[in-house]
């Protein structure tokens, strides 16, 4: 008898379950639509709640989005750009003192010993570099080697304790980019061994560096467009950002962000920039001739 009553109530149970499922489906569709209907409202209420937060953060948003840098910590100089670290400027207007030059050398590491990057023709300078720049240099020369098997990039002069007196291309002590510990003259000896700008077209490595070095934080420090006139004319390092030099082998580490902005001409209508012009355009340097920096 009990079994029968269970059996007879089974259709009712099934009906209940069916109605329940149906009601649940209707409710979920209804609620789903409703959620869709109120979506714009919830969006606008999100905006409302975002607004006061944005107001709170206003001072932070107002900060200029300039290049990233950190100052050199163990060296001192009257050169105001020293506080810009990798972006520091040494040229005939922005000098450094002997004390800076001597102390800077202690901070540098050997490219040969640490990375197997050899100096091709040691005649002036040491094969030394800032550790971060050296690590990026290693990546860069390896990328070149991978693309040109059997080839190698050598340094010719990286850090210099003193200046040189070879004429227009050389600068006296205190005025050369080679005091930064962030720079090297580079050459692939397979394409020739003399540093001669007229040979640019036969030096595949110089063309490769010009096109790719920014990915590793390096820039062509003295591009032709910023030489400030012919190399037979008096040296012109002017207020607009000319470097006074044209060298197709001189590469300088500034960090990937700044290098990308310089190589892609963010502040120079899409054309390769000079470090001088870049520092002026970003407001870090206020006068390229008087050698003054932004005061913060």
Q: Given the rule CB under 5 A, which residues bind Zn ion? A: 185, 250
Which residue number, 93 or 248, has a Cβ lying nearer to Zn ion? 248
Phi, psi at residue 129, to the nearest 5°?
A: -155, 155
> In angstroms, what is the minimal distance from the CB of 67 to Zn ion?
23
Angle between helices 204-212 and 131-147 (to 10 degrees): 120
Which residue number, 79 or 180, has a Cβ lying nearer to Zn ion? 180
Which residue number, 203 or 250, has a Cβ lying nearer to Zn ion? 250
> In angstroms, what is the minimal distance from the CB of 177 to Zn ion?
7
**CB–CB of 158/130 below 8 Å?**
no
Tell me which residue has its CB nearest to Zn ion.
250
Cα 260 from Cα 21, distance rounded (Å): 61
> In angstroms, what is the minimal distance from the CB of 92 to Zn ion?
14
In sequence order, what are the beta bridge partners of 293? 285
> In angstroms, what is the minimal distance from the CB of 210 to Zn ion?
15
């Amino acid at each position: 008898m009990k079994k029968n009553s269970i059996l007879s109530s089974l259709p009712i149970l099934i009906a209940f379950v069916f109605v329940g499922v149906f009601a649940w489906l209707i409710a979920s569709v209804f609620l789903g639509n409703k959620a869709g209907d109120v979506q714009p409202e919830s969006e606008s209420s999100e905006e409302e709640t975002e607004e006061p937060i944005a107001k709170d953060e206003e001072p932070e948003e107002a900060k200029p989005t300039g290049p990233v840098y950190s100052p050199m910590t163990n060296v001192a100089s009257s050169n105001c750009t020293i506080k810009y670290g990798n972006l520091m400027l040494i040229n005939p207007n922005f000098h450094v003192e002997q004390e800076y030059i001597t102390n800077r050398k202690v901070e540098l590491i050997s490219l040969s010993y640490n990375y197997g990057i050899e100096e091709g023709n040691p005649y002036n300078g040491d094969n030394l570099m800032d550790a971060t720049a050296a690590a990026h240099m290693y990546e860069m020369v390896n990328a070149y080697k991978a693309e040109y098997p059997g080839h190698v990039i050598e340094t010719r002069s990286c850090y210099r304790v003193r200046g040189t007196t070879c004429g227009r291309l050389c600068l006296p002590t205190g005025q050369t980019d080679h005091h930064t510990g962030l720079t090297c003259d580079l050459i692939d000896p397979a394409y020739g061994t003399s540093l001669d700008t007229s040979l640019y077209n036969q030096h595949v490595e110089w063309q490769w560096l010009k096109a790719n070095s920014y990915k590793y934080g390096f820039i062509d420090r003295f591009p032709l467009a910023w030489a400030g006139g012919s190399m037979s004319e008096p040296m012109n390092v002017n207020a607009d950002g000319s470097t006074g030099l044209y060298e197709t082998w001189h590469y300088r580490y500034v960090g990937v962000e700044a290098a990308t902005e310089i190589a892609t001409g963010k502040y120079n209508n899409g054309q390769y920039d000079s470090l001088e012009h870049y520092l002026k355009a970003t407001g870090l340097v206020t006068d390229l001739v008087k050698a003054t920096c932004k005061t913060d």
